[in-house]
Structure 1
Amino acid sequence: MTFLVGQSIIQVKAGAPNNGRGEDNRGMVKQFKIGQQVFPYVSAQAARRWLRESLPAGEQTSPVVRSGEGKKQQAYTHGRPDQYLDDDLFGYMIAVKAETEGKGRKSEPKTFMRDTVLASGTLVAVAPNKPVTDFGTMSRDFEPGTNPVIHEHEMYTADLAGDLLLDLPRVGTFETGGRTTKTALPAAVAAAVVEAGGSRVTLRAVECVRLSIGERRRRVAVLLRTMAVVKGGAKRSAHYGDRTPGLLILAPLKGGTNPFTRVVRERERGTYFATDILTEEIEAWSDELDGPVRIGWAPGFLGGQRDRARADLAALIKNEQVILDHPRVVLNTFADEIETGQHDGWFDDPLN
C-alpha cells in the first residue's frame, strides 16, 4: 500500500483567512498561545473547504442535507462516495432510517460513515506572530456631526504549514463489512456500484466495493490539480491573497508515516527549509519510499533559500530521489502521471 505524505505551506500577507469568535464588535483570527508566543492558524476544516470549493466547475459535489432545529440540528452530505469525489476523499457520517427484517417491520436508525481518505493537518504559523488590530468606520450618508460606526478586526502576516496524507488504496474503495469498521454504503448502493462496473475486494481485512481504476486515477488527479489552484479564505474583500502553496513536499511512502513534518521549521523567527533534515529523512526512510520526494517551491518564496536548497540537494536531484520545481508544475505533472496509469501499483495493498 502507498500513501502520499508531506506538507503544504501557504503565505499569508496582511490577511485574516480564518476567523474565530469575535468579541465586542471585534473580529478575531484563530490563534493559540504556547507560553507567551502567539501562533495564528487556519483550521483543517477551513482548508478542506477551500479545496472542496476550488474543485473544477464540472465536478459535482455532494449536496448537503440540513435537518432538525436548535441544538438538535444536523447537517450532512448525501454520503454517496460512488457519485461524488468529495464524499469519497473527505469522508462523512450520515444516520438514516433502515427497516428491520421480519414481521412488524419498523424503521430504526443506521449509521453510515467514511473515514477521511485525505487527512489534513491544521495550517499553523511556522514562527510565532501576534496578530495586529485594524479598524474601519462606516459613515457613508450619515448626517453632518454624526459619529461614525467603528468596527475592528485582526490580521497577520505569516507562513502557515500543515501536514498532508492521502491513503491511495482507499480512493474509490468503500467499506461494506467488518467488525470494527463502519459501513460506508447501504447494501443496495454497494450492489449498484458492482453492477455499474465496480468490483468486490478485501482491503485490510475489510470487505469493500471498488470503483474502476480509471475513475480512481481521475479522482486523485483532480485533487492534485485542485491543490495547484486552490483559493478561498475569509475577508477576501479587504484581505484577498494567494492561497496556493508557496512550498509543497509530497512523497509516496509505503507505511503511511510522515517523516517530513520537521523539514520546514522556525529559525531566527522566520521560516527555514532544512535541507540537512530532508536528506537524513530520505536516507532513513529509503526502504519505505516508493518514488522521489517532490518539492514544489514558488520562486520568490523564502528569498534565496530556494536556490540554496537546489544546490544542497543537487546529488539527490541528479539521482532522481528529489524533484524540485514550481508547485503548479509539480502537481500537474504528478496528476498526469497518475491519470495515465504510471503509478497504478500504489492503489493496491499487496497484503490482500
Structure 2
Amino acid sequence: MNLKTQGFILLDVDVVALNNAGKSSSSNFDNAVATKKLYKNGKTYTYVSGQAWRYWWRETLKNDFGWIMSPIIKVDDKNQTFTACNPAKYPDDDVFGYMKALKDLKRDGDGNPILNKKGKEETENVSATRVSPLKNSVIVSVSSTSTEEHSSSMTRHEGNPVLYSKMEYSAIMKGMFSIDLNQVGLFSSYNKTGFKNLSDELKSEYISQDLVKEIDDPYVKTKSGEPQKLVQLEKSVREKRIVETISALKTISGGAMQTNNMADVTPKFIILATTTSGNHPFSHIAVGEGQKSERALLNIEGLKEVLNDYKEQIKGTVYIGKRSGFMDECNDSLKALEAEFENVKVLTINQAVDQYCEQVKTQLP
C-alpha cells in the first residue's frame, strides 16, 4: 500500500516581506524592492515560492537536527550545478531529491580517456535523478492582500541620505505538503528516465557496506519478466528522516528582510494525516470572506466534507493542531469534530506534530 503524509498549514504574519521579487517597477524610488504576489479573479495575493519554503526547511533540518547536507558541485564553464547524488549518505538528497544531467569521459583502468576509432574522446552518460518524496506548494495568502510601500533611509554618513523602499504586508497564509512514505530511503538504479537514482557503482558500494537491502520492484519488470531490484535503507534510518522532516515544522524559520521585519513562520494551524491517495484533500479548508475576500476563515464544513469523502483513504488518526490566540472563534467547532469523527484529534501544534510522528512510525513499510 502506497502511503503519503498529507500536511496543511496556516501562518499568521504581520508587517513582513517574506519573499522578494527583485527591483520594483512601480516605485518612485531607485532602490525599491518588490514582494512576490499574484493575481486571481481580480484580486491580489502575496506568496512565498515553494523553493523558498524548501530552503527554510533544509536550513532548519541542518541547524536544529544536525543534518549533513549534500555538497553542491558546480560544472566548469556551464550554468549547471548538482549535489553529490548520494542519498544514503546525505538525507537531503534522499528527502528533497536531485537531478544531475551530465556526460563524463570514459576512462580505462589507468584513468586515461578512451578514444574512439576517429581519435575522439568517448563519453558516457552519468546522469542521476531522484523525484523528491517531499512535495510542497507555495505559501500563499488566504485572503486578498494589500501591500504597503515602506520608505527608509541610510543616514549614517556625510551628505544626502540614501533612500530606499520595500513592500510589506500582513496576512494569514496557507501551504500544503506531501511526503511519499514508501519512497523515502528507497532507490532504483536501472537505466530508465526518472528511475536512475544511483549508479551501479554506488549501488554496489551500498550493498557491500550493508547500508541497504535489495527488494523487488512490484511495478517494473526486466525484459525477461523478472522484477527489477530496488535497494532500501534500514527502517530506523527511514523513520528518523521522515520524523525529523515533519518535526522541523515546529521550529522552522526563514524569510527575507528578517533584520527589520522578523517574522514567526511556524504554523499556527496544522492538519496531518496519512492517506492512500496522491491528491491532497485539504487544499480548500481555508477561504477568504467578504466582497474583497479580505478576511481569512476556516471552512469547517469543507473540512467535514473531506473527512467524510476521504474516509476510506485516510489511514489512522487525523491530527489537527492550533495555537491558542489564533482563530479562537473556531475552537468549539474544531472540538466538535472530535465528537463527530472517531479518527480526529484536536491538540496544540507541537502535540499534533509529535503524536502524528508516533503514528507514522507504525505505518512505515
**Does the 8 Å CA contact 1:38/1:130 hold for their aligned counterparts?**
yes
Write the mapping of 1:197-208 to structure 2, written as runs, cut at 5 A: 197=210, 198-203=212-217, 205-206=219-220, 207-208=229-230
Report the more deviating stretch, 274-283 or 203-212: 203-212
Partners of 2:11 and 2:154 in 1: CA distance: 32
Report what 1:239 is aligned to: 261
Indicate whether 1:162 and 2:175 are aligned: yes
Indicate whether 1:313 and 2:321 are aligned: no
Instruction: Give the deviation of 1:58 after TM superposition.
Output: 2.2
Report what 1:350 is aligned to: none
Match of 2:139 among 102, 123, 138: 123
Structure 1 SS opposite 2:53: helix
**Does the 8 Å CA contact 1:271/1:302 hold for their aligned counterparts?**
no
Indicate whether 1:286 and 2:286 are aligned: no
Report what 2:154 is aligned to: 138
Identity value in percent: 25
Indicate whether 1:39 and 2:61 are aligned: no
Report what 1:62 is aligned to: 70
Match of 1:85 among 87, 91, 112: 91
Report what 1:267 is aligned to: 289
Structure 2 SS opposite 1:184: coil
Instruction: Give the deviation of 1:180 after TM superposition.
Output: 4.7
Higher alpha-carbon Rg: 2
Match of 1:295 among 320, 330, 354: 320
Structure 2 SS opposite 1:165: strand
Report what 1:172 is aligned to: 185
Instruction: Give the deviation of 1:110 after TM superposition.
Output: 2.5
Partners of 2:303 and 2:181 in 1: CA distance: 23
Report what 2:226 is aligned to: none
**Does the 8 Å CA contact 1:6/1:261 hold for their aligned counterparts?**
no
Partners of 1:287 and 1:333 in 2: CA distance: 21
Q: Compared with structure 1, are the counterparts of its residues 138 and 181 closer, same or farther at alpha carbon in structure 2 (3 Å cutoff)?
A: closer
Give the TM-score normalised by the residue count of structure 2: 0.86
Partners of 2:42 and 2:310 in 1: CA distance: 36
Structure 1 SS opposite 2:126: strand
Partners of 1:124 and 1:201 in 2: CA distance: 40
Instruction: Give the deviation of 1:201 after TM superposition.
Output: 2.1
Instruction: Give the deviation of 1:196 after TM superposition.
Output: 2.8
Task: Output the amino acid matched with 1:25.
Answer: N
Q: Compared with structure 1, are the counterparts of its residues 280 and 289 closer, same or farther at alpha carbon in structure 2 (3 Å cutoff)?
A: same
Indicate whether 1:113 and 2:129 are aligned: yes
Task: Output the amino acid matched with 1:308.
Answer: D
**Does the 8 Å CA contact 2:126/2:199 hold for their aligned counterparts?**
no
Partners of 1:121 and 1:30 in 2: CA distance: 15
Report the more deviating stretch, 193-202 or 166-175: 193-202
Report the more deviating stretch, 268-277 or 214-223: 268-277
Instruction: Give the deviation of 1:173 after TM superposition.
Output: 0.5
Number of corresponding residues? 335
Structure 1 SS opposite 2:73: strand
Partners of 2:57 and 2:42 in 1: CA distance: 33
**Does the 8 Å CA contact 1:127/1:158 hold for their aligned counterparts?**
yes
Q: Compared with structure 1, are the counterparts of its residues 115 and 32 closer, same or farther at alpha carbon in structure 2 (3 Å cutoff)?
A: same
Report the more deviating stretch, 217-226 or 188-197: 188-197
**Does the 8 Å CA contact 2:46/2:141 hold for their aligned counterparts?**
yes
Partners of 1:150 and 1:230 in 2: CA distance: 33
Report what 2:16 is aligned to: 15
Partners of 1:151 and 1:99 in 2: CA distance: 50
Indicate whether 1:343 and 2:343 are aligned: no
Unaligned runs of 5+ in 2: 25-29, 109-113, 117-121, 221-228
Structure 2 SS opposite 1:166: strand
Unaligned runs of 5+ in 1: 348-352
Structure 2 SS opposite 1:292: strand
Instruction: Give the deviation of 1:100 after TM superposition.
Output: 5.2
